[in-house]
Structure 1
Amino acid sequence: MKKLKDKLTHFITFRVMNNVLLGLGKLMRPFSKVSNAPVLPNSDFKWAKLLEDNWEAIQNELSALLQHDDHLPNIEDIQPQEQALNQDNKWKTFFLYGFGIKSEKNCEKCPVTTQVLESIPGMLTGFFSILYSGKHIPAHRGIFKGIVRTHLGVIVPESTKCRMRVGNEIINWKNGKAVFFDDTYNHEVWNETDSVRVVLLIDTVRPYRSWGAKINNQIIKGITESVYVKQAFKKNEDWEKAYYSVFP
């Protein structure tokens, strides 16, 4: 009975937090220094070139990880709230940073990728997002507009069947190219090819003017200190211990 009550409390708290953050994001729209469109222009982010200049070195580090991809965690193994989006083994991850918290062991395996991430202004999260053949991530949306999401194509099949819809816009990733988008828009992902698709997923602080920046920083601080982030960090820490006992 207690477990059921705890789960219900957890669900209600999460839903309330979602609604509050979505509302605040709408109020802060006029203060954004970058586009509020579903897909943002690369010219809004000077560090896009840093990503694209280093993509081959990042790909090399990823390729070494994929030699043991069966042992990499599913997204919901690290972030349980993603279970609604993934109930198979076709969406795997390798976390380097999560809301400013560094995954030390994982970062040691990817020194170039880590150095690039740590050079990005306002970087909060960085991980490899690995989608296998036939994977579909159903339509969903992020909870807070104060973050901009970036995908760097690292291993991408050359096919229009590997794509993402953000709002009414379609993204076809390309190797070595970065795309920036607002994940509070309804979005959906498909890999209908016979190959794996991997992007380096990065979340950064959206730049705001005036009081918008102060409010955004406080909200992000609250998210970072939340039970959801702490739970994810603990799960990743536990996974690291198990993984590196087999692959030191």
Structure 2
Amino acid sequence: MTQQVTTPPSPRTEPAQNFGTEGIAAMQRPSLITRALMAVVSRVERLNLRFSKVGNPPVYDKATFPWVAGIEEQWHLIRSELDKVMVRQSELPTFQDISTDVKSISQDTGWKTFFLAGYGLTSDRNIAQCPQTWRVLQTIPGLKTAMFSIFEPGKHLAPHRGPYNGVLRLHLGLIVPGPRDKLAIRVSDQVCHWEEGQALIFDDAYEHEAWNHTDKTRVVLFVDFVKPLRFPANLINWLLLNIAVFTPFIREGADNHKEWEKRFYAEAEALRNRPN
């Protein structure tokens, strides 16, 4: 899901969050309820900036969140479960297969996902494949979304911003090929590089883009968690995030994932039952 931003932040001042992405069409939905909700979101985003407990930088010092160290310590367990998932890499869905709004920034097959949870919805069958990963994820305060994000060789994700600044994003490097200068993510005016076993935390409400110009696949554990806010923003944020599950953006994605899941696990069952 994407919204539009207008101008890049000035490096001489504190970066500013804008509320759209230049060159990307705004999401259009026929529902009056959805349009009303998006108008509310625009107002609440300004409140979230004002009442943040952790400031509003594009990229955070991971020491800001003490629980991150425990995630990094167990990255090998997550990587071992990822390796089993990657055996069927070619059958995994693209992001736009699940969330059609992503077509505004990605139309090819270079960005794939293995979804675990999002906004109160879970993929029980995918979680069953990754029990240690799921256990580790439960230590993240305010966990909202979790998946493996798979960036294939040659993929460049266009500049965009996330739909809402009430969450922050964590990337845990799991498969990070070299050379370093060909694989990166830009958040506002900062270019960051993933490292295996290391977490990167950023605010995806700033314009960002990512690229993999290596000849190998990059994979991170992709997590959104609730941004720490003071009252009253924390209460309003909680309400919006819990209402989100009823919006077309989330419901459509859930339906698309269920259809993919049926096909994926039906094929796995057929392979197991095939006579020798």
Deviation at residue 47 of structure 1 after TM alignment: 1.4
Tell me which residue corresponds to 2:197.
176
Alignment-derived partner of residue 44 in structure 1? 64
Specify which of 201, 220, 225 is matched with residue 199 of structure 1.
Answer: 220
Q: How does 1:154-193 map to 2 (within 5 A)?
A: 154-158=174-178, 159-193=180-214
Q: 1:192 to 1:17 in 2, by over 3 A?
A: farther
Preserved CA contact (<8 Å) 2:153 2:216: yes
The CA distance in 2 between the partners of 1:133 and 1:84, in whole Å, is 20
Give the match for residue 257 of structure 2: 236
Residues 22 and 143 in structure 1, CA contact (< 8 A), matched pair in contact too: no
Task: Please list every run of 5 or more consecutive structure 2 residues that lacks an aligned counterpart in the other structure.
Answer: 1-26, 270-276
Which deviates more, 52-61 or 24-33? Answer: 24-33
TM-score by length of 2: 0.83
Letter in 1 for 2:86: L
8 A Cα contact 2:47 2:233, kept in partner: no
Cα distance change of structure 1 residues 10 and 157 upon mapping to structure 2, 3 Å threshold: farther
Aligned residues, how many?
242
Native 8 Å contact 2:72 2:199 kept in 1: yes
Kindly state the Cα deviation for residue 28 of structure 1 after the two structures are TM-superposed.
2.3
The correspondence for 2:242, drawn from 218, 221, 239, is 221
Alpha-carbon distance change, 13 to 138 in structure 1, aligned in 2, over 3 angstroms: farther
1:13, distance to aligned residue in structure 2 (A): 7.3
How far apart in 2 are the matches of 1:184 and 1:136? Answer: 19
| Aligned-CA RMSD value | 1.8
Q: Who is 2:142 aligned against?
A: 122
Give the drift of 1:227. 2.0
In 2, distance between residues paired with 1:135 and 1:12? 36
Pick closer, same or farther for the CA change 1:224–1:71 going to 2, 3 Å.
same
2:98 equivalent in structure 1: 78
Q: Any conservation in 2 of the 1:22–1:145 contact (CA below 8 Å)?
A: no
Once the two structures are overlaid, the 10-residue window that deviates more, 177-186 or 115-124, is: 115-124
Could you say which residue in structure 2 is the equivalent of 1:245? 266
* C-alpha deviation, 1:57, in angstroms: 1.1
Q: How far off its partner does 1:10 sit?
A: 3.6
Give TM-score scaled by structure 1 length: 0.92
Aligned-partner residue type, residue 119 of structure 1: T
What is the aligned counterpart of 1:141 among 157, 161, 176?
161
**Residue 106 of structure 1 pairs with residue 126 of structure 2:** yes
Unaligned runs of 5+ in 1: 1-6
The structure that has the greater radius of gyration is 2
- The 1:22–1:157 alpha-carbon spacing in structure 2 relative to 1, beyond 3 Å, is farther
The 1-side partners of 2:100 and 2:33 are apart by 15
